């Protein structure tokens, strides 16, 4: 399956699953689920197959740097969205992502220092973005809501990744991390339920991004030394392990504990 077919198949499926998970277990779980590198991971894999391990390693560096840019998106959206319309919050969050990406691309930090920056940025953003008081009620489900999410996510992924090859490996990696899935989940939650629901999506994403970062650290370290298949196998194992641990932070309370 080529990259175009992968995006067309995986993108609507993922946004549909994440939306349904959010409805069933809460917005935080939906955001946490899309923290995994469902788009950028396959993009780096195809870059490795098409352009070699060195190109893919640089792209993995860009994806890791993009984790900080995603944290910037979450922070700006969450702060602005508390009092502003979702469209203004989305625009502000996107500008935050772009500004952080430009700063990171110019800095070109070594991998160990970049990893420290990623962990610090995720932890700091979680601290600066506490949950808003008050639980949202059941989300209304407008007719055609789920197909609209799936179609919009697919269009955005195709448009963003079409620009990536002309920008080089580092920019390709950063661009592929734009939080399309989480951004859409946050926007729909904000529009239908208010800023509290949107912030829960963003906090779920932040917890999920620890696994995202672990995945790309392994790729960046291993792919040139060990080859593509071993590097991706190890990266998937590390990401799933971290993701399983982080689920405790977003899991809804059990019925017994709630009573």
Let me know if residue 255 belongs to a domain.
Answer: no
Say if 234 falls within a structural domain: yes
Distances in Å between the Cα of 133 and the Cα atoms of 130, 136, 197 are 9, 9, 10
Distances (CA, A) of 189 to 36, 157, 201: 20, 20, 8
| Residue 180 to residue 210: CA distance in whole angstroms | 17
Q: Is residue 48 in some structural domain?
A: yes
pLDDT tens-digit readout, 158-172: 776 667 667 676 676
User: Looking at the 3D structure of the chain, how many domains does it have?
Assistant: 1
CA–CA gap between residue 90 and residue 71 (Å, rounded) = 14
Q: Tens of pLDDT along 9-40?
A: 766 776 677 667 666 767 777 778 778 887 77
Q: Is the pLDDT of residue 6 over 90?
A: no
pLDDT digits (tens, 9 = 90+) for 87-107: 899 999 999 998 998 888 777
- Helix intervals (H) in 26-52: 27-33, 40-51
Whole-angstrom distance, CA of residue 131 vs CA of residue 74: 13
What was the pLDDT predicted at 258?
Answer: 43
Structural domain range at position 72 = 3-132+149-250
């Amino acid at each position: 399956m080529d990259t175009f077919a992968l995006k067309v198949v995986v993108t609507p499926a993922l946004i549909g699953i994440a939306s349904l998970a959010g409805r069933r277990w809460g917005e935080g779980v939906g955001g946490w689920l899309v923290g995994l590198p469902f788009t950028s991971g396959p993009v780096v894999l195809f870059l490795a197959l098409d352009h070699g391990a060195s190109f893919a390693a640089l792209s993995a560096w860009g994806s890791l740097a993009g984790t900080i840019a995603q944290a910037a998106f979450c922070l700006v959206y969450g702060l602005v969205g508390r009092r502003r319309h979702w469209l203004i919050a989305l625009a502000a969050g996107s500008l935050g992502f772009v500004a952080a990406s430009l700063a990171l691309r110019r800095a070109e930090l070594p991998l160990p220092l970049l990893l420290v920056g990623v962990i610090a940025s995720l932890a700091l953003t979680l601290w600066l973005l506490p949950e808003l008081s008050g639980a949202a009620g059941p989300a209304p489900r407008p007719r055609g809501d789920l197909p609209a999410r799936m179609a919009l996510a697919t269009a955005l992924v195709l448009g963003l990744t079409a620009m990536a090859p002309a920008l080089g490996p580092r920019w390709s990696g950063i661009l592929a991390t734009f939080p399309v899935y989480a951004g859409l989940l946050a926007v729909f939650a904000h529009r239908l339920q208010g800023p509290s629901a949107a912030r829960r999506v963003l906090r779920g994403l932040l917890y999920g991004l620890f696994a995202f970062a672990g995945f790309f650290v392994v790729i960046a370290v291993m792919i040139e030394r060990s080859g593509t298949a071993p590097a991706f196998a190890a990266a998937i194992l590390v990401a799933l392990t971290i993701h399983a641990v982080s689920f405790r932070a977003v899991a809804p309370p059990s019925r017994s504990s709630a009573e």
